[in-house]
Structure 1
Amino acid sequence: MRVFGFAGWSGSGKTTLIEQLIPRFIAHGLTVSLVKHAHHEFDLDQPGKDSFRHREAGCREVLVTSAARWALQHELRGRPELTLDEALQRLSPCDLALVEGFKGSPIPKLEVYRESVGKPLLHPRDPEIVAVATDGPLATALPVLPLGDPDAVATFILRQVSLETRRN
């Protein structure tokens, strides 16, 4: 499994870019998974549903399955959150694991940057950032990719993770 990350401030367009890249990677013949770090509590469940009630009653894990998908929810209940390595180990085998968040992790990353967000670049402080995707001109020693050209961004990432020659 190759791993590639995305870093950037909230509102920079990370999720939108990743959403555009996934079908391009799949068209390239890759199986793709994603790990996203949330800085806030989240719940995939709905209050009142059976699975929610079972977790509330104390189950450590609840697995919900249907003909379309399955989801496993694991309650930490005061234990530390997963590291990126621990999260990646829980994925099924895939060709490419994309990572959104986990800014401090030692994986190659693309910074998604928009000057209009009003925040500084991350890459001077994160040596794992290998390029910047942006919507305007940018003076940096790193490769600068056009945020509006997901084909160019996908090609760059495939080269970075040595999957550019893989095809269906």
Structure 2
Amino acid sequence: MKHYGITGWKNSGKTGLVERLVAEITGRGYSVSTIKHAHHAFDVDHPGRDSYRHREAGASEVILASRKRVAQMTELRGAPEPELDELLMRLRPVDLVLVEGYKRARHPKLECHRVETGKGLIAPEDDSIRGVASDTSMSLHVPVFNLDDSGGIADFILREVALD
């Protein structure tokens, strides 16, 4: 399954760009899924709910299903975090998976950059970064896009994964 990363430092605009790219690319008739990496604990469930109670009781996996959606929660319980390739295998086939985060993984990525974060660029030191989307103009060894140019960035990614 084709996948492409959107990476960058915290508050660099990754989530907003992924959101706009999903809308742009699905609007062109492609199916898209996403994977988001979090560096912190998170919970998609709420204390007191049945599924939460199942996990708290010790269930390794809980699937919550309805007419509108299915959610699967897996408790690692000390096991190592799954690698990106393993997570990709869990998804139903789609045309493209946009992967947010995973800075250090070796898949092709576009880096988001905002001057206000005060962080330097990752791209000069990482050859898996194939382009940069920024709020400032710059000259680099890879294509540079305006962070708000969702259409141009979508064109670039679709060419990169041979879906254009």
TM-score (norm 1): 0.95
After superposition, residues 141-152 of structure 1 pair within 5 angstroms as 141-152=141-152
Tell me the CA shift for residue 125 of structure 1.
2.0
- Size of the aligned set, in residue pairs, is 164
4+ residue segments displaced more than 4 Å: none
Q: Which amino acid aligns with 1:126?
A: D
Please name the residue that 1:115 is paired with: 115
Work out the CA distance in 2 between the residues paired with 1:142 and 1:87: 28
Q: Which amino acid aligns with 1:28?
A: R
Please name the residue that 1:34 is paired with: 34
* Alignment of 1:96 onto 2:90: no
Q: Which amino acid aligns with 1:120?
A: G
Assess if the C-alpha contact under 8 Å between 2:137 and 2:146 holds in 1: no
Aligned-pair identity (%): 50
TM-score (norm 2): 0.97
Tell me the CA shift for residue 26 of structure 1.
0.8
Please name the residue that 1:13 is paired with: 13
Work out the CA distance in 1 between the residues paired with 2:103 and 2:11: 15
Gaps of 5+ in 2: none
The secondary structure found in structure 2 opposite 1:34 is strand
Work out the CA distance in 1 between the residues paired with 2:122 and 2:100: 14
Please name the residue that 2:24 is paired with: 24
After superposition, residues 119-130 of structure 1 pair within 5 angstroms as 119-130=119-130
Per-residue CA deviation, residues 54-82 of structure 1 (Å, 9 max, x unaligned), is 11001111100111101010110000001
Please name the residue that 2:79 is paired with: 79
The CA RMSD measured in Å over matched residues stands at: 0.8
Q: Which amino acid aligns with 1:139?
A: S
